[in-house]
Amino acid sequence: MDIFVQQLINGLTLGSIYGLIAIGYTMVFGIIGMVNFAHGDVFMVSAFIALICFLLLTTVLGITSIFLALAIVLVVAMFFTALTNWAIERVAYRPLRGSFRLAPMISAIGMSILLANFVQVSQGPRNKPVPPMIGDVIVLMERDGYQVTLAWKQVIIMVLTAALLGGFWYLVQKTSLGRAQRACEQDRKMAALLGINVDHTISLTFVIGAALAAVAGVMYLMYYGVVNFADGFVPGVKAFTAAVLGGIGSLPGAVLGGLLIGLIETFWSAYFSIEYKDVAAFSILAVTLIFLPQGLLGRPEVEKV
């Protein structure tokens, strides 16, 4: 029971991170119908930007307040990651609109390899550890020497995720940008005829997706305290799994899927085998796509003949 509660907390934390990345997948898929394969690596890049910014703030500028540093890191990482994703869309995807269907996907695979290796070359292949940022924990219960703890950083992650999702939901549902986005999802040509700047809307979608991934990147760095150039691939695939599980194209679905994947992964590691945790995640992806391709909250597709 104690272990269960502890794993529940850990799983929800991890799931929040996956959920934030998954939104990027699901939004891009919704608006241009492509699997943005490089999104996981964008997340990894954001973690590196956060790392550099954090080092700059703490070692060079000498900022001692960890919360102030984190807040600055968050804003900086969001800005630069958004810029990166904006440029990626411009260079690698926009020229391919109207090309054959798999072209953007292949381009995205290339972009994913490019990003991972760019970071490897520029930052080196070694793991980058950062000193633990927020070590405080709240002991929730204690029995027979086993403590169920809730770390402050977990609280921060979950609260921040919830707040961001609220703001994000408002953006999509209530603002003209959100309306434009939903219009483009339905019919890009018609949206353009009605005066919506489609290119602009798609760019903004990439920017928002990247900003959310950057938040995930900062939290990943804070939570695990280490980052590596290869860290984009597996979390990327898991977040994609989350998006598919929740129903690709559905925003609440992405979050729900993220939480589920986080929970499954932590419970699998705790109760079965930690070696096969990635196998479990990949298997869920395969099983979902085969048996429930519309996901939990998605709409089924009717084949147009």
Partner 1 sequence: MASSPASGSRLWETDPILTVEHLFMRFGGLVAVNDLSFNVGRGDITALIGPNGAGKTTVFNCITGFYKPSAGRLALAHRRAATPAEIDAATAIGERSLATGDAAVYLLERLPDYRVSGEAKVARTFQNIRLFTGMTVLENLMVAQHNALMRASGYSLRGLFGLPSWGRAARAATEKATFWLDKVGLLERADDPAGDLPYGAQRRLEIARAMCSDPILLCLDEPAAGLNPRESLELNTLLRSIRADHGTSILLIEHDMSVVMEISDHVVVLDYGTKISDGTPEAVKSDPRVIAAYLGVDEDAVEEAGAEIEEIVQTGAAS
Partner 2 sequence: MAAQIAEPAAGGTGAPARADSFGPALKDALIAGLVTLGLLGPLVGFHAVVKDEGMNGQAALGLDYRPGLVAIMVGIVFAGRLLLNLTVWSPNRVVATRSGPTVFDRIGTTLGPAIKPALLAFAVGFPFLAAFLMGGLNESRYLVDVGILILTYVMLGWGLNIVVGLAGLLDLGYVAFYAVGAYTYALLATSAPINDFFAGLLGATFWANWAFWICLPLAGVFAGLWGMILGFPVLRLRGDYLAIVTLAFGEIIRLVLINWVDFTGGGAGIASIPRATFFGIPFNASEDGFAARFGLDFNPMHRIVFLYFVILALALVTAFATVRLRKLPVGRAWEALREDEIACRSLGINTTNVKLSAFATGAMFGGFAGCFFAVRAGFVSPESFTFDISAMILAIVVLGGMGSQIGVAVAAAVMMGGMELLRNLGFLSNVFGPGFDPTQYRMLLFGLAMVAIMVWKPRGLVSTREPTIFLKERKAVSGDLVKEGHG
User: Which residues sit at the interface with partner 2, rule CB under 8 A?
Assistant: 34-35, 45, 48-49, 51-53, 55-56, 59-60, 80, 83-84, 87, 90-92, 94-96, 99-107, 109-124, 126-131, 233, 237, 240, 244, 275-276, 278-279, 282-283, 285-286, 289-290, 293, 303, 305
Q: Is 301 in the site for partner 1 (CB under 8 A)?
A: no
Q: Is 302 in the site for partner 1 (CB under 8 A)?
A: yes
Size of the site for partner 1 (CB under 8 A): 3
Which of residues 60 and 290 has its CB atom nearest to partner 1 in the complex? Answer: 290
Which of residues 101 and 143 has its CB atom nearest to partner 2 in the complex? Answer: 101
Please check whether residue 160 is in contact with residue 215, taking contact to mean a CB–CB distance below 8 angstroms. yes
In the complex, what is the shortest distance from the CB of residue 293 to partner 2, in angstroms, rounded to a whole number? 7
| One-character DSSP codes across the chain | -HHHHHHHHHHHHHHHHHHHHHHHHHHHHHHH----TTHHHHHHHHHHHHHHHHHIIIIIS----HHHHHHHHHHHHHHHHHHHHHHHIIIIIGGGTTS-TTHHHHHHHHHHHHHHHHHHHHH-SS-EE---S---EEEEEEETTEEEEEEHHHHHHHHHHHHHHHHHHHHHHHSHHHHHHHHHHH-HHHHHHTT--HHHHHHHHHHHHHHHHHHHHHHHHHHHSEE-GGGGHHHHHHHHHHHHHH-TT-HHHHHHHHHHHHHHHHHHHHHS-STTHHHHHHHHHHHHHHH-TTTTTSPPPPPP-
Question: Which of the ranges 45-53, 54-62, 175-183, 297-305 carries the binding residues for partner 1, by CB under 8 A?
Answer: 297-305
Which of residues 79 and 169 has its CB atom nearest to partner 2 in the complex? Answer: 79
302 touches which of partner 1, partner 2, none (CB within 5 to 8 A by kind)? partner 1
Q: Is 1 in the site for partner 1 (CB under 8 A)?
A: no
155 touches which of partner 1, partner 2, none (CB within 5 to 8 A by kind)? none
Q: Is 144 in the site for partner 1 (CB under 8 A)?
A: no
In the complex, what is the shortest distance from the CB of residue 116 to partner 2, in angstroms, rounded to a whole number? 8
Q: Terminus-to-terminus CA distance in the chain, angstroms?
A: 53
267: left (phi over 0), alpha (psi -120 to 50) or beta: alpha
Which of residues 102 and 287 has its CB atom nearest to partner 1 in the complex? Answer: 102
Which of residues 83 and 162 has its CB atom nearest to partner 2 in the complex? Answer: 83
Which of residues 162 and 287 has its CB atom nearest to partner 2 in the complex? Answer: 287
128 touches which of partner 2, partner 1, none (CB within 5 to 8 A by kind)? partner 2
In the complex, what is the shortest distance from the CB of residue 305 to partner 1, in angstroms, rounded to a whole number? 5
In the complex, what is the shortest distance from the CB of residue 125 to partner 2, in angstroms, rounded to a whole number? 8
In the complex, what is the shortest distance from the CB of residue 41 to partner 2, in angstroms, rounded to a whole number? 10
Give, in order, the Cα–Cα distances in Å from 228 to each of 41, 90, 100, 121, 141: 11, 26, 34, 12, 34
- The residues that touch partner 1, with contacts defined as CB under 8 A, are 302-303, 305
